[in-house]
Structure 1
Amino acid sequence: MPQQPTLGDVVALLDEWYPPATADSWDAVGLVYGDPAAPVSRVMLAVDPVLPVAQEAAEWGADLLVVHHPLFLKAVHGFPATTPKGRTLATLAGAGCGLLTAHTNADQALGGVSEAMALALGLTEVEPLVPADPAAYDKLTVYVPAGDADAVRTALAEAGAGRIGDYDSASFSSTGEGRFRPLPGASPAIGSVGSLETVEEVRVECVLPRPLRRSVVAAMVAAHPYEEPAYDVVELAPLTPSSTGTGRVGHVPRTTLREFATRVVEALPETASGIRVGGDPDRPVETVALCGGAGDFLLDRVASGGADVYVTSDLRHHPASEFLEKEGPALVDVPHWAAEWTWLPVVEGRLRAGLGATVETRVSTTVTDPWTLRL
């Protein structure tokens, strides 16, 4: 029988899919509450960490509640149960249910919020609207006496250099002659002060993630026998565009704005507020840009991007009005909760695939959109 995963195991999976390090600097993501050593048999997913959702998780017997929006986005000095956020956490804690947030780290990721929304709306050929900066790499080249090359290569690999995809310890070596003259004050490992020395050396080259540059160079210098190793570091240009990023853009079979908006209504969970459409209902639509959550910060980018319509949430009066006056894309404003809810079944599917029958999952259908009545 498969071993029951711990909370730490589930968190590690989620962190792999939605790395916390990719969250915006102002965000608060990751494990909010719970013991990583505790066993997990039930995981519930929701958009908002609010009391009705916490009560649902407690009544179902969830061991972990995974949410999109942070419970504590701003710093707090306490969370007494006399406050809304305190009541939510107290309910989860009383039921032994952990809490994890994946917010802006889930917005940009593959299988993240905007991508899930794009697929729910039937978009094809989906790409990031604003691609993330691709991973930055350097190439380190160092010259080592032949007898010490293996030790230096090992030190480089242990420091994180030479990792390419599913391979590690990757490097290239070529042989040649090194020449140098130790000057007064030097303590040469090979040769003597004042004498020109010729040494059989190996040129070792490897790639490394740029954030590891300082530690990799330090490891190389520590393993190198020379008092003053000869080496250089070159920044590599990115060769492939990033597959992650903010928002998404894709295509639908040619339709009208009215028909596309109807498709949006049918694809998203129902809310009291419904959706709003700005633009000529009969205009043709083929290219769709979107952003899960509040996306008015992308209006300028969308205006010049060639989309026929932009789908997002929480559009304000003046920015929307000025955007439409430019006679660019149409606008479809959808409820924030409904747009981001489309991500939950995606995460559920990934958890089932990753954890198998060891864990039950549940997507909350509790509507936590703040608007409850439209007249």
Structure 2
Amino acid sequence: MPSLQEVVDRLHAWYPPETAEEWDAVGLVWGEPQAQVSKVMFAVDPTLEVAEEAAAWGADLLVVHHPLFLKPVHGFAASTPKGRTLSTLVGAGCALLAAHTNADQAVDGVSEAMALALGLSELRPLVPAPAPAVDSLVVYVPGPDAERLRQVLSEAGAGALGDYDQCSYSTPGEGRFRPLAGSDPAIGEHGRLEVVAEERIEVVLPRRLRQQVVQAMLAAHPYEEPAFQVLELADARQAGTGTGRVGTVGPTTLAEFARTVGERLPATVQGVRVAGDPERPVRTVAVVGGAGDFLLDRVAGMDVDVYVTSDLRHHPASEFVEKGGPALVDVAHWAAEWTWLPVVERRVRETWGDTVETRVSTARTDAWTFAVPQEPHSEGA
């Protein structure tokens, strides 16, 4: 049975908090890191209904997509809706973790889960994310100390390339220096030129670990004043993740595809709204889980047949359609993002097996509760 910290660490490895938008509030909201976790529940929204369901089931951890608190708070008194939600979880000893925009663009994240649920294949990011910033560290060290220094650099986080670690490149050479008065040389004497057989070691490292790696190198290097360089590498690769997904279906028609969307997403009052010719051929589809009208301009210039997302506003959608670009399919925000819950649930079950029970919340937290049917008005009425 894992600890809460172990579960949090694994979720953060899948959905790194550093990839969240700056305005977002993700990660562990409440919980004791050393507590044992035997039951994990998943939901889109941290509502009171969801919290009560988690408490009644005996969950040790509730993982939600939408954060409970997006703005700083001074407390969570039970006299407020959000306070009642967290008070319910605290009273039941149930930790709370949010994975929001960090889960949107990740592999096995929200948009990818939605795309797969709708039957898309050959997926690629709609807006590819840049690869994490990378540095190159070059350091010169006496030959007998080279292997130990390579190990230190690896332990500090350098030398990882994809599914490989301890990656480095070394070339032999000669180092020349003359210790001056006031120095404390590890090799050589004051006033005498020294020639030392050295190795040039090159490693790559995440830029966010630059200070950590350099400090580890300086602490382990035998020289009083090591010679080294840190170079910022150009962004030549993409991370393989990103906002939204583009994939292929069918071939089918817009009407048939829209019916598939309605069948494969959880039912909501809104249902599925469509803008376009029902007989339009559909082969290539772009999707964004959650609100996606901020990408309408980008999608308009893409070679796709339909764009599926949520929360499309009247004027942007109307202008988009007038341009004669892809068709639009608008689905409920909650329904689109719900498709991620079984995916992350599966990953947890595959990781901890029978030691952890899992459950996807049965609460439908879509904001809309009912709709009023309208009869078309006759002409002249």
* Same fold by TM-score greater than 0.5: yes
Question: For residues 243 and 130 of structure 2, what CA distance do their matches in structure 1 show?
Answer: 11
Question: For residues 325 and 353 of structure 1, what CA distance do their matches in structure 2 show?
Answer: 47
Is 2:351 the partner of 1:322?
no
Q: Residue 344 of structure 2 aligns to a residue in which SS?
A: helix
**Aligned-residue offset at 1:237:** 4.2
Residue type of the partner of 1:137? V
| Counterpart for residue 200 of structure 1 | 197
1:85-130 deviation per Cα after TM superposition (whole angstroms, max 9, x unaligned): 1111122222222211111111111111000000000000011111
1:201-224 deviation per Cα after TM superposition (whole angstroms, max 9, x unaligned): 112222222222233223323333
| 1:203-352 superposed matches below 5 A | 203-238=200-235, 240-352=237-349
2:130–2:235 contact (8 Å) kept in structure 1: no
| Counterpart for residue 114 of structure 2 | 117
Is 2:46 the partner of 1:46?
no
| Counterpart for residue 88 of structure 1 | 85
Q: Residue 132 of structure 1 aligns to a residue in which SS?
A: strand
Question: For residues 365 and 240 of structure 2, what CA distance do their matches in structure 1 show?
Answer: 31
1:1-45 deviation per Cα after TM superposition (whole angstroms, max 9, x unaligned): xxx222222222212211222211111111112222222222211
Question: For residues 224 and 94 of structure 1, what CA distance do their matches in structure 2 show?
Answer: 52
Is 2:31 the partner of 1:27?
no
Q: Cα 1:279–1:177, aligned 2, differ >3 Å: closer, same or farther? A: same
Aligned-pair identity in percent equals: 69
Q: Cα 1:39–1:189, aligned 2, differ >3 Å: closer, same or farther? A: closer
1:39-79 deviation per Cα after TM superposition (whole angstroms, max 9, x unaligned): 22222111111111112222222222111111111111221
| TM-score, with length taken from structure 1 | 0.93
Residue type of the partner of 1:341? W
1:118–1:248 contact (8 Å) kept in structure 2: yes
1:167-194 deviation per Cα after TM superposition (whole angstroms, max 9, x unaligned): 4333232222223345666554434455
2:130–2:237 contact (8 Å) kept in structure 1: no
1:234-287 deviation per Cα after TM superposition (whole angstroms, max 9, x unaligned): 333455432211111111111111111111101100011112111222211111
**Aligned-residue offset at 1:311:** 0.6
1:282-309 deviation per Cα after TM superposition (whole angstroms, max 9, x unaligned): 2111111110001111111111121111
| TM-score, with length taken from structure 2 | 0.91
Residue type of the partner of 1:295? G
Gaps of 5+ in 1: none
| 1:121-136 superposed matches below 5 A | 121-136=118-133
2:140–2:226 contact (8 Å) kept in structure 1: yes
Gaps of 5+ in 2: 373-381
Question: For residues 216 and 63 of structure 1, what CA distance do their matches in structure 2 show?
Answer: 37
Which has the larger displacement, 32-41 or 118-127? 32-41
Residue type of the partner of 1:365? T
How many residue pairs align between the two structures?
372
Question: For residues 193 and 37 of structure 2, what CA distance do their matches in structure 1 show?
Answer: 67
Q: Cα 1:185–1:10, aligned 2, differ >3 Å: closer, same or farther? A: closer
Question: For residues 93 and 66 of structure 1, what CA distance do their matches in structure 2 show?
Answer: 14
